[in-house]
Homo-oligomer: A and B are copies of this chain.
Amino acid sequence: MLISDLETPAVIVDLDIMDRNLSRMADYCREHQLLLRPHTKTHKIPELAKRQLAGGATGITVAKLGEAEVMLDAGITDMLIAYPIVGPGKTTRLARLAEQANITVSLDSEEVARGISEASTREGTKIGVLIEMDVGFERCGFSNEADVLALARKIAELRGLEFRGLMFFPGHFGVGPGERAAMRTQVNDYLKRTIEVLSDAGLPVAIVSGGSTPTAYEGGLFYGVNEVRPGTYIFNDRNTVAVSACTLDDCALSVLVTVVSTAVSGHAVVDGGSKTFSYDRFQGGDGRGFGIVKEDPAAEIERFSEEHGHVNIQRSERRYRVGERISVIPNHVCTTVNMHDEIYGVRGEHVEEIWRVEGRGKVR
Contacts and interface: CB of A to CB of B under 8 A. Distances in A.
Interface of A: 7-10, 41, 63-64, 83-84, 86-87, 89-90, 108-109, 111-112, 115, 132, 134, 138-143, 147, 171, 258-265, 267, 269, 271-272, 274-276, 278-281, 305-308, 310, 321-323, 334-335, 338-341, 361, 363-364
Given A109-B261, A138-B267, 16 more contacts: A10-B364, A84-B322, A86-B322, A108-B263, A132-B263, A134-B264, A139-B305, A140-B269, A142-B263, A143-B265, A147-B263, A274-B278, A274-B335, A275-B338, A279-B281, A307-B363
A166 B41 CA distance: 44
Given A139-B264, A141-B263, A275 B363 contact: yes
Contacts of A280: 274, 279
A353 to B, nearest CB: 18
Q: Chain A contact residues: over half helix, strand or loop, or mixed?
A: loop
Identical chains bound together, number: 2
A86 B323 contact: yes
B363 A9 contact: yes
Given A258-B87, A305-B171, A322-B111, A275 B140 contact: no
The 7 closest A-B pairs by CB, nearest first: A108-B263, A111-B322, A84-B260, A140-B261, A7-B364, A341-B361, A279-B279
Contacts of A143: 263-265
Given A281-B279, A307-B64, A260 B147 contact: no
A8 B364 contact: yes
Contacts of A276: 363
Contact of A115 (B138, B267, B323, B335): B323
Contacts of A338: 275, 306, 339
A29 to B, nearest CB: 23
A139 B308 contact: yes
Contact of A363 (B86, B90, B272): B272
Nearest to A41: B306
A109 B258 CA distance: 14
Contacts of A64: 307
A240 to B, nearest CB: 15
Given A9-B363, A278-B278, A279-B335, A308 B258 contact: no
B112 A263 contact: no
Given A84-B261, A279-B278, A281-B279, A322 B140 contact: no
B340 A361 contact: yes
A137 to B, nearest CB: 9
5 contacts: A63-B307, A86-B260, A109-B322, A274-B335, A278-B278
Contact of A7 (B41, B89, B281, B323): B89
Contact of A264 (B9, B83, B141, B264): B141
A9 B364 contact: yes
